[in-house]
Amino acid sequence: MAVLVAAVVLLGGLVLVNLLLTGAVIRRLRKITKDSLAGAVPGNPGLAVGAEVPAFSALTVSDTKVTADDFAGERTLVGFFSTDCPHCLPKAPVFVTTARDAAADGVRVLAVVVEGERRPAELLAALTGDVSVVVEGEGGAMAEAFEIRAFPSFFLIGPDGTVAGSSLKPELPTAAPSPV
């Protein structure tokens, strides 16, 4: 009988230690998951507000050369889309509407389609109107210059060639309000 009591006490102790270790592992996994999700969707999709757009060179689908120097002198709205992004195609018509309104205010509009595994035909069809479009592969010149971390991403470039605003939404991006 004493052996049975000792076995039950030992087993109970092992179960208690197992529960404590499992609780510690769960707390650690929650912290790791929370930390990794915090970086999953960046508040800043690429170049920071105030940063100068680095030099790059790209061609639009109509064979017009686009460089960082082209941003000088006028405001430019730049939208980055990916063919592999499930959110890009639904946001393209909103971007076109924003582009139409921006063009009426004298803002030039440029869309960059990063071609992944899927072909860009649907995105190109959605990006119509006053939007100049550049199609490039992953790691293309414009995506690298703008340090794109998420799709779709939108930037407003000021007449001085610096980022005036950025957003993950297709509305005209503005600089974040400064803390009081």
Write down the H helix ranges in the chain. 2-38, 88-104, 121-126, 141-145
As a whole-number percent, the residues of the chain with pLDDT over 70 amount to: 88
Which SS3 state, helix, strand or coil, does residue 131 take? coil
pLDDT for res 179: 40
Task: Tell me if 130 sits within 8 A of 109, measured CB to CB.
Answer: yes
Say which amino acid occupies 161.
Answer: G
Task: Tell me if 99 sits within 8 A of 70, measured CB to CB.
Answer: no
Categorise residue 18: left if φ over 0, alpha if ψ from -120 to 50, beta otherwise: alpha
Structure pTM?
0.72
pLDDT for res 116: 86
Question: 1 falls in which pLDDT band (50, 70, 90)?
Answer: confident
Long-range contacts, stretch 136-142, CB < 8 angstroms, 24+ apart: 136/58, 136/112, 138/114, 140/58, 140/112, 140/114, 141/56, 141/57, 141/58, 142/56, 142/58, 142/66, 142/78, 142/80, 142/112
Question: By C-alpha distance, which of 160, 161, 159, 157 is closest to 174?
Answer: 157
Domain boundaries defined on the chain: 1-40, 57-167
What fold does the segment set 57-167 form as a domain?
A: Glutaredoxin (3.40.30)
- Distance (Å, whole) CA 128 – CA 126: 6
What is the average per-residue pLDDT within 136-148? 93
Write down the H helix ranges in 105-133. 121-126
Q: pLDDT for 32-58, tens place per residue?
A: 765 554 444 446 788 999 999 999 999
Question: 92 falls in which pLDDT band (50, 70, 90)?
Answer: very high
What is the average per-residue pLDDT within 111-122? 89
